Structure 1
Amino acid sequence: MSTVTFEGVSKRYGEVVALDALDLRVEEGEFVSLLGPSGSGKSTTLNLLAGLMDADTGSIRIGTRDITGLPPEQRDIAMVFQNYALYPHLTVFENIAFPLEARKPRPDAATIRAKVERVAGTLGVAPLLARYPKEISGGQQQRVALGRAMVRDPKVFLLDEPLSNLDARLRIRMRRDLKALHHQLGSTIVYVTHDQAEAMTLSSRIAVFDHGKLQQYGAPAEIYERPANIFVANFVGDRETNFLDGTLEAGADGLVYATALGRIPLGNGGATPREGRATRLGVRPEAIAVEPDGGSDLRVVLTELAGADLFLTVRGRDETEVVARADPRAIRITEGEGVRLRFDAERLHLFDAGTGVAVRHGGG
């Protein structure tokens, strides 16, 4: 295991900035996800760490060793790809053993067999060692690809969207298995994904990227509950964050945010933005409670049942809309009904309307 450190690392393709002066440190034994949309810089970061491309500026270290100019085979890393990259003409045993067979000097046959069987046992693929990749499932192929990486005992594991080719149910199961495997091995893992649910579930910390820049780096709860800016607030979460324009006012019990949907109390916690500053209010669906109110100007225009959750789209007179999350067993509201909204002040976020940077989080 080792730390991974990026200092001022940049990569350009002509006028396009793929990565802009990245400073990032992964601690020993951490599982860090690089999260962001396509073209955000996350895959560039992984490829620079793997040695598959060269940095224009800055340095990269694994532990205390500067690896910036080293070829991939000298970096002591192991990479698991999106398409698994198994050799179809080799058995599962031979695929896992391949890095050891290629090593110079080559270990003896007994050592190779012992290592392969140990890794296969850890991953639950020991009964499959005599089969070929085409004879096993996608999830089993993924385990074999992980085994081929593990058998090398690398300092750092790099995983490039390894679950994206699996169906939804298997992906969830593999997330659980990957988390358990990390706890068992205690290895340093850098994981690229565009799936925020994967990042939230698996990670010790998450690095959120957009347009080649690191937007926020922190624990999953911090990223979710205290987003650094509008992009992070909207990207991280299974539903988009509601954003409301309005004005800040002083109320009897603290700040109030006046919007087209009504006056929303923000409470007394947190910083007070300077007077006259243009702001936007960020509200996740679960921070809004909906109650029937036949006399209200607010109407439910769409209901979406998603298993244990009911999502309600509520529209005001000026066409302003918000989406709220509710328990379908506790509320009976149909489209067209009038409602009133209650906002949880502990889970509201204020952002600068110009820069998008967070200026206040609910609860202080």
Structure 2
Amino acid sequence: MNLKFTVTERFTRYVTIDTQSDPNSNTFPSTAKQKNLGLLLVTELLDMGLHDAHMDEQGYVYATVPGNSAKPDIPVICFCSHMDTAPDCSGTDVKPIIHKNYQGQDLILPDDPSQVIRSSDHPELKHQIGNDVITASGATLLGADNKAGVAEIMDACYQLLNHPEIKHGDIRILFTPDEEIGRGVDKVDLKKLGAYAGYTMDGESAGNMENETFSADGAKLIIHGISSHPGFAKGKMQSAIKIAGQIIAALPYDLSPEGTDNKEGFVHPVSISGHVETAEIDFIIRDFDDQKLKGHANVIRAIANDVLKKFPGCGYELKTHEQYRNMKKVLDEHPQIVEYGLEAMRRAGLDARLCSIRGGTDGSRLSFMGLPCPNIFAGEHAFHSKHEWVSVQDMQKAVETILHLCMIWEEKA
């Protein structure tokens, strides 16, 4: 394929639009500014000629690239990326910088010279020699997670419409809000989407396809202490805050995010609040194995029971709720969806490999909602931080992968 890529120009345009989501918001989407990018994408899709492109009131963007093949009954496939950026780091006034012909040097970010992307800390940079690496300026995250995926899908739409020799069936496009705060597909309309299979473009290194995610639960530990006037508290007060501190201190290191890797699960306290009488600790619990996931919740319960032996009259409640499940269970029932993705990457000249992700994607939940949806690389690295980066060439390979996927589904029909 002889392509004139538009992905870099699109990406550097999209990242300047602040789309940070807010976990403390009760609205949907959680921030109205996410719709600013959605409206721009709809405008660009309409300008390309995708006449059904629109954004619904919840902030989801839908569009269709009509099929151009004479073959009947080609399965409809969907490409999906999320528009929001993480609340962990500012996404306001992002200034993308293209470091052309990268030669392995440390990258000093000009708006804050203390922010240095060191090649020693980012081993994947050794695969980018001679490529063009895009970073932020040091004051914000870049937003490659997941505007790289958005730009790649948009460029693929452009290429499909300008290269009729690429034969394909109907291709659905879906851009979602609020993925970073776990609400990305809460209000998606799968009936409107009408796809047989999906692919999220939201992964890391070129050539990676993720068919396995964590299973995830949330947990809230509510601790009931005994309050008393501090001036007359001797032998009476039993502070829920101090009990919470002891419980957190007792969590095993080898069951923490900082003490685990690969397919090891963890228990992670993400927030604590309260006062003497009542305190709450919010946890996220992760594992690739659902049975181990249940066991991790029991670790919290056992620690709470042990600590509270020292505080007679006090008690606790532990409430758990499901967040998402390992999508491998669903994808194993549809092996061709993953196989076609790997073949597309090989056709794009990449060393294709299956990976597990220590996290979740929109594809995790979409898979269990009836749209089997593995995750394909978008080229993003060091996401959620000021050191985030992506390479132009990796984004271009992602575009090629999308196009090959469209052709493979048409060929195999």
Return the TM-score normalized by structure 1: 0.25
Tell me which protein shows more strand as a share of its residues: 1
Structure with more relative contact order (C-alpha pairs < 8 Å, separation 6 or more): 2
Tell me which protein shows more helix as a share of its residues: 2
Return the TM-score normalized by structure 2: 0.23
For the pair shown, the structure with the greater C-alpha radius of gyration is: 1
